[in-house]
Structure 1
């Protein structure tokens, strides 16, 4: 039984261990090996989604390196699967923790920055001063652009985790009021919970897409 509103986000709530982190790779147990060998409807739909993402990321990156979109598509798939896994009852939502979201955003940002400053130093310095900035404001713009660049991995991680926490907390708060409601209000509560669940599924897709697209845009700035 939950003793705290945030207990559902505690990795040790249900099993008294940190084994709930296994939910991040649980989806691999439910994918049969034949899924990868024989084309099915689900397989064809997923291939279509990946092809669309590949074309979009290819336009955003505009880099001649082949296969660089596969990393971003894998990142999108990983976040999307973990967001959806959190929709099921009694399954730990790993993407609601900063330790996971920051571990995804920080290595990407660091790799982009290291690559950019080592190979395109002048281009990276030019990004610190937007075009058309008056000379008197250039020192302030350098400070502002530097700070905004440094906080990028934090904003990516907080955006994903905060959106996943907000929906789950709202559904938990509404669900806790169920025993004290009348039959009519209980029916309305169930309908609202179903609508919230649909909204959370949409948020799961949108947040994984936003995370990946922003990472793609950050990588395009270092070229």
Structure 2
């Protein structure tokens, strides 16, 4: 099973873009035909409730290098460069040095999840009020435009295999390692395959779990999970 399909079964949506500042309890705005955008950095900036929320952190043992996503070459390089930009390694310019190839495989290791139980969140919203009068927030709530991140998956390690359509040479690999930071290493897996392993000091977001906040004429109705079947992020 691919990593993306596995995560969907867990209710998670793999993050595609270079923006990776996702945190649990962020509120995102998703209007029809528009991309999702950060709305409130934290739930408490918009809502208040007498109910407490407790975060649960766990190791994501099933997310490892055995579950991989395989991409066509140019698509994979584009995905990789988005990730490298997030990690502060955008100056590698992989696409400038590797112009032709067959495929790119991406996987992660040493992953954890940080989640808030959905039952606690439903109870929270059932007793919640806006922090102050806010007609725009009410409009977006009634139109079900608001997504709350109920969980985020983080990883420490990134592993990439780039299968080219030409024979690699030691000078090319050395040029990548010369530019790369200490936590990033390149090696030849075969004559035509370049392997990249990144081991960061901290965790970075790789996937999110989110639900739409369902309001009906100003009254909270429910939370509807959307990241198990939609690609908003």
User: When the two structures are superposed, what TM-score results if normalisation uses the length of structure 2?
Assistant: 0.26
More helix by share: 1
Quick check: which one's strand share is greater?
2
TM-score, normalization by structure 1 = 0.27
